[in-house]
Amino acid sequence: MTSHAWTRERCEALDVADPLGQVRDRFVVVPGEIYLDGNSLGALPRSVPARLAEVAEREWGVSLARSWGEGNWFAAPERVGDKIGSIIGARPGEVLVCDSTTIALIKLLGAALGARPGRNLVLTTSTNFPTDLYAAAGVAGLLADIEVRRVDPDAIVGSLDETVAVLYLTHVDFRTGEMLDLAGLTSEAHRAGALALWDLSHSAGAVVVGCETNGVDLAAGCGYKYLNGGPGAPAFLYVRREHQEIVANPMPGWLGHEAPFEFVPDYRPAHGVRRFLTSTPPILGLAALEAALDCRADVSSEQVRAKSVQLTELFIAALEERLPGAFDLASPRDPDRRGSQVSLRHPDAQAIVQALAERGVIGDFRPPDVCRLGFAALYLRYVDAFAAAEQLVTLMETGGFAGPT
Amino acid sequence: MTSHAWTRERCEALDVADPLGQVRDRFVVVPGEIYLDGNSLGALPRSVPARLAEVAEREWGVSLARSWGEGNWFAAPERVGDKIGSIIGARPGEVLVCDSTTIALIKLLGAALGARPGRNLVLTTSTNFPTDLYAAAGVAGLLADIEVRRVDPDAIVGSLDETVAVLYLTHVDFRTGEMLDLAGLTSEAHRAGALALWDLSHSAGAVVVGCETNGVDLAAGCGYKYLNGGPGAPAFLYVRREHQEIVANPMPGWLGHEAPFEFVPDYRPAHGVRRFLTSTPPILGLAALEAALDCRADVSSEQVRAKSVQLTELFIAALEERLPGAFDLASPRDPDRRGSQVSLRHPDAQAIVQALAERGVIGDFRPPDVCRLGFAALYLRYVDAFAAAEQLVTLMETGGFAGPT
């Protein structure tokens, strides 16, 4: 056995030394399960139920509507937004929690197109998450003369020209885990005079994004994957500070008004990112998301990313060693180009995912042939990644995944 | 004292005979307070905290992403929608719970305009709730050649012509409680070839709406007022069955796709109202709203309305008797034209609302001069309405509302 080989003992030693080792205790872990689906729905932070009870029983039940003024409700979209901002490398006042991811993307697409008059193209990839494509088609259906062009990821740079208003990309591909070069592509967009709008759903809380450093103009993402905000958690949107006074929210609403409680018939946008708020914020969802963010406040994105790379590396290496050729690795082999997941292509992917689940390893299947396994570094141990690989090896060696013929 | 006079004894007798008397026990009532702000944020149903805990701890914490398939999550927007549907007189499959009220209105405005090509006018009132006006302005800003015309409520019928695509009204005015003639105006809209889109935020759960019977085409409303879904609860939208296959959701998203888990790049709308779903539903908010709806499942809208009329009548009558001329009644005196609130105009409205709150009567102030008092029949007793009037009388008689000079 070579010195780089992954063994259970080596994983146990890494867990002992893991600076995030105790963070796992802040999450509910189902006994007997290795949960590799945190990229779909993140695990429950232990602090969330009590926070929900407090908001429901005290803030809603007793303080009632007064909580809008007295409590933390009115400011929640920006307060919780700033907590996400610190994870994605945004400055205070650049992130707002609101709506769902798709609605947030539609808002930002509309805002970007409005800020680039005379340019009619939304440039995106054919591999983008379907709802992102539907959102763009929806916006193009509303606005006159807007075209959405889908290209292969390797044709992005060559497609950037003076007609592109917004380069609209997902940072980490939902199917393969491929991570695009956010800094480089943002820079290329700027060179072409376009804005860069990033979907961070599969990156926020899992990889280092660096919105400020990398010049990101606009971004949105979901709260329920690596941010652990719960099922259907509110989304977030990021608007770079320098753009905030020149972009318009295409879905104006009273909570984004400069003076919502004047109840005047004409809209005057609030200053800052708050103008992207439309309606009354979803307080229960915000409370769960905030509790989830608070429970990781002492963890840096760099720490999460470093552990996540090791988890996916050890899983891939173990399969390469024990099951060479059994799968096509759909994810990039280079960890610098890979998000926090490992996607394996196999004709029997669906049956394999199901059989793995019966053995306590929870992943998911994405058509047509992808086993998708997410590695959430906050609550997954090295021994879990190792044991998951072991289970998959055993399954493939015994053919235990064959469904009824 | 005449036989029709309101006395505490008469109110106590009405409470004893009240068929909704025991429903109050299903809500958290703050001791020493009379909550007349349920039109802003409805009271907490006692069943909600336990339901939230169950969803968080079991469905999210243990079942995790499997709850989308195994649990009730995927179907929640339509399932909870149908429960609202039974309150607003819709047929099964006509109501969807999603988004916020303003986003839902924007979706329906876009859908209505798309369904009436060649007509370019959105007709609404100058008194409409501000966010409704902002939403319309937002839609007009996106679509070419769309005009939003605001008229006085009594000019609606005269303004309906062949250019009107959609008559866009709020059923019960947020400021005055004036209830428009939903059936008659819908019929007038149809006579002009327009669709009728109603904001039911201040009527759902408080008055009889009758969407099916009254020919309503499209409607939306909020979940947190008389439906008691909690702060920022998800909204609902209604699309008449006959229109569902011909109207398009201008904000398409993956959960409204015919086959969301095929993850195909092109959008094909789901059949039925589900096509108006965009993104992953907010499960925590849906759970609270569903528990709130379940706790009133045995109560009809007619029962709620009958009691609400009596509550507002007795409150107004008591003020008329004891404080003649002290206030301008901003709400219609005719209960058939009044929603579930009483609005009183007074130059010192803000100080009066504050002084009332100090005496345990919780209403709210709406600029410039309105005391707004909502009467939620599910958890308010006749003696509460009477005692609130008594407090107001005492306050006005003693001048106890004067702020610092």
How do A370-374 and A364-366 pair as beta strands?
antiparallel
pLDDT band at A283 (very low <50, low <70, confident <90, very high): very high
- Catalytic residue check, B129: yes
User: Can you tell me the distance from the alpha carbon of B239 to that of B256, in angstroms, rounded to the nearest whole number?
Assistant: 14
Which of A37, A82, A199, A217 is an active site residue?
A199
Considering chain A, what is the average pLDDT of its residues?
A: 95
Using CA of residue A19, residue A23, residue A25, residue A29, what is the dihedral sign?
negative
Residues A7-22 have pLDDT tens digits of: 999 999 999 999 999 9
Report if pTM > 0.80: yes
Interchain proximity A100–B253, CB inside 8 Å: yes
Interchain proximity A257–B110, CB inside 8 Å: no
Per-residue pLDDT of chain B (405 residues; tens, 9 = 90+): 444 688 999 999 999 999 999 999 999 999 999 999 999 999 999 999 999 999 999 999 999 998 997 668 999 999 999 999 999 999 999 999 999 999 999 999 999 999 999 999 999 999 999 999 999 999 999 998 999 999 999 999 999 999 999 999 999 999 999 999 999 999 999 999 999 999 999 999 999 999 999 999 999 999 999 999 999 999 999 999 999 999 999 999 999 999 998 999 999 999 999 999 999 999 999 999 999 999 999 999 999 999 999 999 999 999 999 999 999 999 999 999 999 999 999 999 999 999 999 999 999 999 999 999 999 999 999 999 999 999 999 999 998 887 544
CA dihedral A315, A321, A322, A325 (to 10 degrees): 100
A373 beta partners = A342
* pLDDT, mean of residues A352-374: 96
Interchain proximity B254–A102, CB inside 8 Å: yes
The ipTM (two decimal places) reads 0.96
CB A217 within 8 A of CB A197: yes
Contacts of A54 in chain B (CB under 8 A): none
Q: A11-41 in b/e burial notation, b at 16+ Cβ within 10 A?
A: beebbeebebeebbebbbbeeebbbbbbbbb
- Catalytic residue check, A274: no
Contacts of A131 in chain B (CB under 8 A): 253-255, 278-279
- Catalytic residue check, A134: no
Interchain proximity A265–B130, CB inside 8 Å: yes
CA dihedral A135, A140, A143, A145 (to 10 degrees): 160
CB A347 within 8 A of CB A18: no
Contacts of B56 in chain A (CB under 8 A): 44, 48-49, 52, 230, 288
pLDDT band at A4 (very low <50, low <70, confident <90, very high): low
CA dihedral A36, A39, A41, A42 (to 10 degrees): 80
% of residues, chain A, pLDDT over 70: 98
What is the pLDDT at residue A297?
98
Backbone angles phi, psi at A148, to 5 degrees: -110, 120
- Catalytic residue check, A379: no
Spans of all domains in chain A: 8-46+299-398, 49-294
CB B43 within 8 A of CB B35: yes
The CATH topology of domain A49-294 is Aspartate Aminotransferase; domain 2 (3.40.640)
What is the pLDDT at residue B4?
62
User: Can you tell me the distance from the alpha carbon of B8 to that of B19, in angstroms, rounded to the nearest whole number?
Assistant: 19
Residues A149-160 have pLDDT tens digits of: 999 999 999 999
What is the pLDDT at residue B71?
66
Chain B residue whose CA is closest to A265: B130
Residues A298-310 have pLDDT tens digits of: 999 999 999 999 9
What is the pLDDT at residue B144?
85
- Catalytic residue check, A382: no
Residues A166-214 have pLDDT tens digits of: 999 999 999 999 999 999 999 999 999 999 999 999 999 999 999 999 9
Interchain proximity A232–B284, CB inside 8 Å: yes
CATH for B8-46+299-398 (3.90.1640.10, 3.40.50.300, 3.90.1150.10, 2.10.260.10): 3.90.1150.10
